[in-house]
Amino acid sequence: MLDARAAIVTVGRWLDGKGWAPATSGNYSMRLDNGNFAVTVSGRHKGRLTENDIMSVDADGRSLDGKKPSAETALHLALYSSFPDVGAVLHSHSPAAVGLTRAFPGAYGYLLAGHEMLKALPGVTTHETEVTIPIVDNSQDMAEIEAAITPRLLAAGAPPAYLIRGHGLYGWGRDMVEAERVIEAIEWMIAAELAEMGFREGSGR
127 annotated to bind ligand: no
Q: pLDDT tens digits for 112-144?
A: 999 999 999 999 999 999 999 999 999 999 999
- Count CB-CB contacts under 10 A for residue 1: 17
- C-alpha 24/C-alpha 131 separation (Å) is 30
pTM, two decimal places = 0.94
93 annotated to bind ligand: yes
The domain spanning residue 136 has which CATH number? Answer: 3.40.225.10
Q: What are phi and psi of 43, to 5 degrees?
A: 80, 20
Q: What is the pLDDT along the chain (205 residues), one digit of tens a residue?
A: 769 999 999 999 999 999 999 998 999 999 999 999 999 999 999 999 999 999 999 999 999 999 999 889 999 999 999 999 999 999 999 999 999 999 999 899 999 999 999 999 999 999 999 999 999 999 999 999 999 999 999 997 899 999 999 999 999 999 999 999 999 999 999 999 999 888 877 665 5
β-bridge partners, 38: 30, 56
Q: Per residue, what are the HEC states of 25-49?
A: CCEEEEECCCCCEEEEECCCCHHHC
User: Residue 102 belongs to what domain range?
Assistant: 2-203
Query: Strand order in 109-113's β-sheet?
Result: 54-57, 37-40, 27-31, 88-92, 168-173, 161-164, 130-136, 109-113
Tally of structural domains, the chain: 1
